[in-house]
Amino acid sequence: MIEGILIGLTTALTFQNIFMVMVGCFFGTIIGMLPGLGPMTAIALMIPITYGFDPATGLILMAGVYYGAVFGGSTSSILLNAPGVPGTVATSFDGYPMAQQGKAGKALAIAAWSSFAGGTLSAIYLLFMAPSLSKVSLSFRSPDYFALMILGLTAIAAFSSKGQFLKAMMMVVLGLMLASVGQDSLSDITRFTFNNMNLTDGISFVLVVMATFAMSEALTIILKRNDPTSAAKQVSLTELGSIKINKEERTKMYKTIPRSSVIGFLIGVLPGAGATIASFLAYGMERNVVSDEEKEKFGKGSVNGLSAPETANNAACSGSFVPMLTLGIPGSGTTAVMLGALLGFGVQPGPRLYMTNPEIFWSIIMSMYIGMVILLILNLPLIPYIARILAVPKNYLIPLILFFSVTGIYVMSFNNFDIYLMIGIAVVATFLRLYDFPMPPLILAFVLGGLMEENLRRSLLLSNGSWEFLWDRTLTACILATTILIVVWHIYKTFKNKN
Amino acid sequence: MNINTTKIISLLFFIFSAFYLYTAYQIQVFAFDENAPFNARTFPIYLGYAGLFFSGLKLILPDPNTIKVDHKSLEYKKTGLLILIAIIYGATILKVGYFLTTSLFLFVSYYFLGERRWILMFLLSFPFVAAFMYLLHGILDIYLRDPFLQSIGVMG
């Protein structure tokens, strides 16, 4: 492991990679602050830039964008009560009241330090957990992988949003259907191409991400007459107050951060859960463990109430890298985008990644530390100024998002058909968004589609067409049992809420 | 059964899944693969049935969280216009070239979205695209096809 850490440090500490982390964090922070534009959009917009880099640098840039976006989301939660990303909704519960009391600077500082500590601690957990899990996952067989993918897709659908399970499952199926277009990987038989040569190689992952996130989010903003930047114009530098944290507040944070980081990391590791659930759980748990006196302050500007979700959502970001790096199966929409980009670089993530491409595996983990330090440096003194930069009107923001989307496809294929297809998918996605059909399950399914078919193929061929492979191995059966539990729990909750 | 737009979308998805399933059954596989436990049409067939199942459930089950969209408040005109500009941009980018079409796309989009600060509009289109092109083509070595710039000798 020491050797791996050294390889990672050598790669991550090159001038180019440090610069990329900085660019990623800065860009991610700005996008994350804009309500409605989350880390997936930020990462999608960065894809064209990463074409010019080696896989490690490309992924380091995207990881920087990811942390930055989650970090940036907390800033708009605190200053504007408008969470940039769902993972920072819980931050606004105590962050915004604190800002209203004239302690916005202090709230930002608490959020920044908590995020830093949560991210750093979880990177340490990842450092120890990822190699061990990689070794364990070497024993995984095709049926286990197939079951794991079913679990991941079911979990992301179940956790996507309240009462949207069926909609999310429809999006999962749509994602898998889109992934099935093109040549069959084994027999080279073309499917669903309708004799269109442009579809022979299938639909590009970048195209689907750009269409369903960047482009459709831009169209949704115009369609709904939202202006994600209007609130930012209200931010005044004079209202921020001091960023100093006193001893009493520090003592509270020392207790909150370790427990919230563990919750955040473990929730992040689970497929489909992610930063949103992690932050809410950490907030809820913190409220239960503090004294009655402190409990009264929750929702009115509590230090614990702000520190807990901020620690947990950053810890969950690092946690979500575990299934992606060790199993090659992303646990969230954001890591699905990264996995797709990694496959685009010709790198196959999975249990052998840390043996075949140790520089990628370890440099991502090492760059997390660097990213956290950079975010801290960036957020504390610069956030008020970044908030002002955000007062860019949507008249400029929307065309720029569309421009980045089209550029991403243009430099990838130099093909008009792909641009039309992207616009077509974006229009459909915009319409589906209007009626709360979630997009992350679609992306995760699209990325996993090929792998899922491959593992089902192997499993069915080995079992001579029998579906007994689903319960032949204890591990497969356990994973499937977990999937069934999630579905049953979801049905129970739906009926309970209805009654 | 209450008919709302979510149900209509589910019905469309049901029809789409039925069409997908029909097409999946039409996939030509090799003769020796016809009765194999898994061939090129197996997975799509399962997907077709899954699509029918989930959209069918959505259709028949009551929808407690009905989403109501006020269509009058939606900005269809600007959105449609922006999509049209993007289509024209996509149609011309290969023939005319990246620099000119992208700059014009940005400039025209700013205008249609209501911007009238001409100098800022210009700065955030032509010089901005030139700088971005330099970043991609000059620094990151990503090939950008541009017949227009090639014809005037700016690009090699």
User: Do B83 and B147 fall within a single domain?
Assistant: yes
Question: Residues B136, B80: one domain?
Answer: yes
Contact A167 B64 (CB under 8 A): no
Rounded-to-integer distance, Cα A350 and Cα A139, Å: 12
In a domain, B156, yes or no: no
Burial of A462 from C-beta contacts in 10 A (0-12 / 13-18 / 19+): middle
Query: Among all residues of chain A, which has the CA nearest to that of B142?
Result: A52
A20 closest CA partner among B144, B143, B127, B139: B139
pLDDT band at A237 (very low <50, low <70, confident <90, very high): very low
Residue A340: closest CA among A53, A28, A62: A62
| pLDDT tens-digit map of A390-421 | 566 778 888 988 888 888 888 777 888 999 99
> Does any CB of chain B come closer than 8 Å to the CB of residue A393?
yes
Domain membership of residue B140 (yes or no) is: yes
Tokens of B57: 């459930």
User: From the CB of residue A140, how many other CB atoms can be counted at a distance below 10 Å?
Assistant: 22
Residues of B in contact with A498 (CB under 8 A): 64
* B65 & B83 share domain: no
Residues B39 and B84 in one domain: no
- Nearest chain B Cα to A499, which residue? B64
Do B108 and B130 fall within a single domain?
yes
* Cβ–Cβ contact A389 with B under 8 A: no
Whether B77 and B142 share a structural domain:
yes
Q: Indicate if B38 and B81 belong to the same structural domain.
A: no
B95 and B33 in a common domain:
no
Domain that holds residue B98: 73-151
Mean pLDDT along residues A213-236 = 73
Nearest residue in chain B measured CA to CA from A396: B110
Q: What is the ipTM of this complex?
A: 0.93
List, for residues B93-115, the tens digit of each pLDDT value: 888 888 999 999 999 999 998 88
pLDDT-derived band at A351 (thresholds 50, 70, 90) equals: confident
Same domain, yes or no: B96 and B58? no
Which chain A residues are closer than 8 Å to B113 by Cβ?
222, 394-395, 398-399
Going by pLDDT thresholds of 50, 70 and 90, the confidence category of residue B15 is very high
From B69, B98, B125, the end of a domain falls on: B69
Check CB contact of A23 with chain B, cutoff 8 Å: no
In this complex, which of A163, A180, A437 lies closest to B47 when CB atoms are compared?
A: A180
Residues on chain A touching B79 (C-beta within 8 angstroms):
219, 222-223, 430
Provide mean pLDDT across the span A32-49. Answer: 76
* Residue B45 sits in the same domain as residue B107: no
Strands A190-191 and A182-183: antiparallel
Q: Are A444 and A336 in contact (CB under 8 A)?
A: yes
Number of domains in chain B: 2
Average pLDDT over residues A143-148: 88
B148 CA: distance to closest CA in chain A (Å): 15
Q: Which of B14, B42, B69 is the last residue of a domain?
A: B69
Predicted confidence (pLDDT) per residue in B29-86, tens digit: 888 888 888 999 999 999 999 999 999 999 998 877 777 888 888 899 999 999 999 9
Same domain, B47 and B10: yes
- pTM of the complete model: 0.82
Per the CB < 8 A criterion, the answer to whether B42 and B104 are in contact is no
Residue B117 lies in a domain: yes
Calculate what percentage of chain A has a pLDDT beyond 90: 16
pLDDT at A180 over 90: yes
**Which A residues in the span 83-102 are in contact with B, Cβ-Cβ below 8 Å?**
none
- The answer on B129 and B116 residing in a single domain is yes
What does the pLDDT read at residue A160?
Answer: 65
The larger pLDDT score, comparing residue A24 to residue A348, is at A24
Question: Hunting for tokens 């006196």 — which residue is that?
Answer: A293
Q: Is residue B99 part of a domain?
A: yes
